[in-house]
Amino acid sequence: MNPSTALARVLVDELARGGVTDAVVAPGSRSAPVALALADAERDGRLTLHVRIDERTAAFLALGLAKASGRPVPVLTTSGTATAHLHAAVLEADAAGVPLLALTADRPPELRDTGANQTIAQPGLYGGAVRAAVDVGVPEAGREEAQNRYWRSLVAKALLVARGALSGDPGPVHLNLPFREPLLPEDADVSTVGPWAGRPDGAPWTDGSRATLVQRTDVGPPRTLVVVGDVPPVLGRAAAELAAAQGWPVVAEPSSGAWSASVRGGALLLGVPGWLAAHRPERVLVVGRPTLSRPVSALLADPAVRVETVSAAPRWPDAGRSTTWVGGLPAPRVAPGGTPPTADRAWRGAWCAAADRVGAAVDGLLDALPGLTAGLLARDLIAALPEGALLVLGSSTPVRDVDRLAVPRAGLTVLANRGVAGIDGTVSTAVGAALVHSRGHFRGKRRAFALLGDLTLLHDLQGLLVGEGEPRPDLTLVVPDNDGGGIFAQLEPGQPRYEAGYRRVFGTPHGRDLVAVAEALGWPADRVSSSAGLRDALAAGGPRVVVVGTDQRAEAELAAALRSAATEALSAG
């Protein structure tokens, strides 16, 4: 049994032994060990599990359960902004003396302050509103007996404090639960899940490098790959200009400001081990915070690659603890004849040719599909947007589909909430950005769009409410609706051996008619099922919601087929 599963099962067992009869879960990846343990406990008849797609709703549901029963009720979230959504309920529990248990899954401590995805400073998050707060510590292999005693003692104490059994002052308690991968039980494969690859025993990461905080005096090696993550657009554009001047390929995320210069399907290219081994860069120049792609993360953790980081601020991303140099963008150098003196033309040409082959394979697979899917929607939406349009991308699957499948293009402003990469507040973010984008321009000249998942829409339905006298944005929200948390079908929880708990704590079907939901909140809405219907709906103008029905399992199968198609295309070349 891996350490994450061990902690989760002991924690849930002790909660049940301590009198907990109800628990609430909001879905997430980092919280998967505890979510599955709670689902197992429900199947065994040891407690009743409640699942909600919105952490704020989940927290207040737990508050009501605890308030009515007088028993401590845990509410479980994943890491990042999800934890912040518990705060209002924690404050209420504090003032009302309600025994609420906030269980917040977390990234391990070595990822804090590195710019790692969905990682914030969670210990102490709720300040003085809790009766006790414990950063539990990362479970480790080889210390089972001592950890077991610690975990059971910790949970028993948390229940005691929450009830106010000794103090006469019941209230909320916060347990912060950092987990390293693997997160799922049994023999989950950790060979492709980032910097912990090859460390199934949970051994601590050792950082053998020391970042040098100086400006480079040389441009760097000819085989340099520029990776651009979420970053202020001016820096992203500067990185793209440097790469063009030096003849370096670029792998850029859609919200980077450098996306139009990116090779297409960079994540698919990097996910083909054989091709990458033959075309591995000597150096990766990282600009901004790349968080979307596991193959990019794996490349940055590869000890055979020199990683250098460009940062415009005192904090810089280094989730793999692999950066050897930090500074500003090096100045481009071009020979008198206009040739970049550091360029390896053949190597860059191989990257561009491979991207073309992968793109052709992707298009062939998508074009053969009988109807709209989330992947096809992402590709065709990008191609159909008018020049000068704004596009806001929701976190989770939509931004990744655009990153992998769409043809990068200029003429768009692409935004995404990638700071902590939560799905919360995306509708409101898109509305605000659309209002700014349209100022000073005639209607139809500077239109705004958003691509966001069904849970992302439901998470911020209040964002659709536009009060009397408030400006209404020319914004079209395009929503692939797979009836729940479809991204999990493409990740480890979607594997067949986890089927028993998948639908309940990951798939989370909502069963709502999103067209009716949008119309009830005052937005015209359409449901489309074809590319022609999509074009017509996009041309209709906003405010509008466009819903495209998709299927979680079919999307997971398509994602696997796309990876296979990329591998075959590169093998054939």
What are the φ/ψ torsions at residue 77 (nearest 5 degrees)?
-130, 165
Tokens for 417, please give them: 């909430």
Q: Which residues contact 387 (CB under 8 A, 6 or more apart)?
A: 411
pLDDT band at residue 463 under the 50/70/90 scheme: confident
What DSSP assignment string belongs to 266-329?
Answer: HHHHHT-HHHHHHH--SEEEEESB--S-HHHHHHHT-TTSEEEEE-SSS----TTS-EEEEESP
Label residue 327 by pLDDT band (50, 70, 90).
confident
Q: What local confidence, expressed as pLDDT, does residue 113 receive?
A: 81
Q: Which residue has the higher pLDDT, 215 or 10?
A: 10
- Residue type at position 61: L
- Region of 124 on the Ramachandran plot (φ > 0 left; ψ -120 to 50 alpha; else beta): left
How high does pLDDT run on average in the chain? Answer: 87
**Residue that the structure tokens 């139009």 belong to:** 260
CB 290 within 8 A of CB 229: yes
**Choice between 425 and 72, residue whose per-residue pLDDT is larger:** 72
Q: Is the dihedral of CA 241, 247, 253, 259 positive or negative?
A: positive
Percent of the chain with pLDDT over 90: 58
Question: What is the distance of C-alpha 399 from the center of its chain?
Answer: 9
Residue 193 in this model has a pLDDT that exceeds 70: no
Residue written as token pair 């899954």: 105
Q: What is the pLDDT of residue 472?
A: 87
- How do residues 142-184 score in pLDDT, each as one tens digit? 888 889 989 998 999 999 999 998 888 999 999 999 999 899 9
In this prediction, residue 11 carries a pLDDT of 96
Q: CATH topology for 369-572?
A: Rossmann fold (3.40.50)
pLDDT tens-digit series, residues 228-277: 998 888 899 999 999 999 999 999 999 999 999 999 999 999 999 999 99
In the predicted model, is pLDDT for residue 195 greater than 50?
no
* Full DSSP string of 213-229: ES--SS---SSEEEEE-
Residue 432 has pLDDT above 70, yes or no: yes
3-class secondary-structure state, position 392: strand
Q: Which of 94, 89, 163 is nearest to 129 (CA)?
A: 94
What value, to the nearest 5°, has the Cα angle with vertex 350 and ends 345 and 355? 130
pLDDT at 338: 60
Q: How far is CA 446 from CA 233, 429, 474, in A?
A: 18, 17, 9
Residue carrying the six token digits 């599990």: 49
Domain 212-351 architecture: 3-Layer(aba) Sandwich (3.40)
Please list, in sequence order, all residues whose beta carbon lies within 8 angstroms of the beta carbon of residue 68, skipping any fewer than 6 positions away. none
In the chain, residues under CATH classification 3.40.50.970 are 3-178, 369-572
Write the DSSP assignment of 399-422 as a string of letters: HHHHHHHSPP-SSEEEEE--SS--
Q: Quick one: CA dihedral 246, 249, 251, 255, positive or negative?
A: positive
Range 300-329 burial, b when 16+ CB lie within 10 A, else e: bbbeebbbbbbbeeeebbbbbbbbebbbeb
Print the SS3 string covering 42-95: HHCCCCEEEECCCHHHHHHHHHHHHHHHCCCEEEEECCCHHHHCCHHHHHHHHH
Q: Are strands 475-481 and 544-549 parallel, antiparallel or unpaired?
A: parallel
What does the pLDDT read at residue 194?
A: 26
Least confident range from 16-20, 120-124, 166-170, 449-453: namely 166-170
Mean pLDDT across 295-318: 87
Mean per-residue pLDDT, 374-378: 93
Question: Which of the four pLDDT bands, split at 50, 70 and 90, describes residue 420?
Answer: confident
pLDDT digits (tens, 9 = 90+) for 474-509: 999 999 999 888 888 888 888 888 888 888 888 888
Question: What is the distance between the alpha carbons of residues 20 and 13, in angstroms, rounded to a whole number?
Answer: 10
In three-state secondary structure terms, 361 is helix
pLDDT of residue 212: 38
Task: Give the confidence band of 339 by pLDDT, cuts at 50, 70, 90.
Answer: low
- Structural class in CATH, domain 3-178: alpha beta
Question: Mean pLDDT lowest for which of 266-280, 378-392, 462-476, 507-521?
Answer: 462-476
Tally of CA atoms within 13 A in the half-sphere of 401 that contains its CB: 28
Query: Locate tokens 């050792």: which residue?
Result: 206
Calculate the CA dihedral of residues 174, 180, 181, 186 and round it to 10 degrees: -70
Instruction: Please report which helix (H) or strand (E) contains residue 236, including its range.
Output: helix 233-246
Contacts of residue 565, defined as CB under 8 A and 6 or more positions apart, other chains included, come to 358, 361, 362, 364, 365
Per-residue confidence (pLDDT) for residue 198, from 0 to 100? 26
Each residue's pLDDT tens digit, 197-242: 222 233 222 233 333 334 454 677 889 999 999 888 889 999 999 9
The pLDDT value given to residue 114: 79
What's the whole-model pTM score? Answer: 0.79
Cα separation of 443 and 463, whole Å?
22
What is the pLDDT, as a whole number, of residue 504? 86
Q: DSSP letter at 193?
A: S
> Averaged over 93-119, what is the pLDDT?
89
pLDDT band at 367 (very low <50, low <70, confident <90, very high): very high
* pLDDT number for residue 546: 97
Query: Could you tell me where in the chain the CATH 3.40.50.1220 domains are found?
Result: 212-351
Residue carrying structure tokens 């998948």: 502
Q: Which residue has the higher pLDDT, 468 or 185?
A: 185
State residue 199's pLDDT score.
Answer: 24
pLDDT at 99 over 90: yes
Interior angle at CA 503, CA 18 and CA 369, nearest 5: 160
Token pair in block for residue 38:
């709670």
Residue ranges in 444-493 assigned as alpha helix (H) = 454-459
